[in-house]
Amino acid sequence: MTLWWLFISAAGISLVFTGVIRRYALAHSVMDIPNERSSHTVPTPRGGGVAIVVSFLFLLISLGAAAYVAWVYVLALLGTGAWVAFIGFLDDRGHIPAKWRLLAHFVGAAWALYWLDGLPSIAVFGITLNLHWIGPILAAFYLVWMLNLYNFMDGIDGIASIEAICVASGGATLYVVIGHSQAAATPALLAFAVAGFLVWNFPPAKIFMGDAGSGFLGMVLGVLSLQAAWVAPQLLWSWLVLLGVFIVDATLTLFRRLLRGDKVYEAHRSHAYQYASRKYGRHLPVTLAVLVINIAWLFPIAYLIAVGILEGVIGIVVAYIPLLVIAVLLRAGQLEVLSKN
């Protein structure tokens, strides 16, 4: 019962604090003003993701104090989460050059990996692989990519919130399924914290998450996936499946833009989900499609991997191929033609 009160409190704090931030943003003109690269047409308050950060990190300390979560994990998430959110907040308020942002992101990743003790052994076709010194390097690049891809994918109403809730609640459920119920507390807490914000962010959004929120979610979900691998090696593959919608769209889009020689750090509207939202003229169908894909396609595959029915690498291939086909059909990463009107 105590845990459920913590979860409900996380949602409540996030809900109320998002409303406070929105009122402040409206009063002080902290607004996202649409331009030719935007997926929105109406000026909208931004910075609401700070409510997710505050509610999750505050109650994460409570989970640690109640011995639901080991303090090494609390410190990993607390330090890197607060740091990444702070960098995102500064970037929201005034632009930080890309190279310094990237350096700060690696600092945050290094902090988390220090407390996690790097990358655990990986299970591949029944063989346990220890990557030794290269493991932490790969893990650092993975966490930084997760952070940035989440920033890239936070471009239409509700999509980043829905994805975080699906991934975190899915990961928590898998813990319960394989008999590690206590480990489910942290991702469940994150899901509830995001749910409170989603009340304001659901299409049509009344407030945006901002870089402080999206970068925080990307990094925290990445850290949680590595934490899951320490609990059970196959869970890393399960979490990568759960994150499939964002990983496939963002990676394919980045790859195509790199091949074309685009400045990848500049804003654009060439992700698959952005093309889809313009095709259907609304954000809601696309956001709901992400929800359905996560529940009906990705979670069942992640479950089969977690319980040992499906090999992790094969599960990734099976899960990602349809997503890749959809992204290609939706023109992910192709050069966008902007109207001159």
> Any binding-site annotation on 211?
yes
Residues in the chain: 341
Computed from CA positions of residues 95, 99, 100, 103, in that sequence, does the dihedral angle turn out positive or negative?
A: positive
In the chain, how long is the greatest CA-to-CA distance?
59
* Cα(169)–Cα(338) distance, integer angstroms: 38
CA distances from 5 to 154, 160, 161, 163 (A): 29, 25, 21, 23
CB environment 197-225: b (16+ within 10 A), e (fewer): bbebbbbebbbbbbbbbbbbbbbbbbbbb
Which residues neighbour 325 within 8 Å (Cβ) at sequence distance 6 or greater? none
> Any binding-site annotation on 35?
no
The DSSP letter of residue 340 is -
Question: Cis ω on the peptide bond leading into residue 204 (within 30° of 0)?
Answer: yes
Of 302, 144, 301, 158, residue with least CA distance to 223: 144
What SS3 class is residue 68?
coil
From first CA to last CA, the distance across the chain in angstroms is 57
* Cα(29)–Cα(19) distance, integer angstroms: 15
Q: Rounded to 5 degrees, what are φ and ψ at 309?
A: -80, -30
Which residues contribute to the annotated binding site for Mg(2+)?
A: 151, 211
Which residues contribute to the annotated binding site?
A: 151, 211
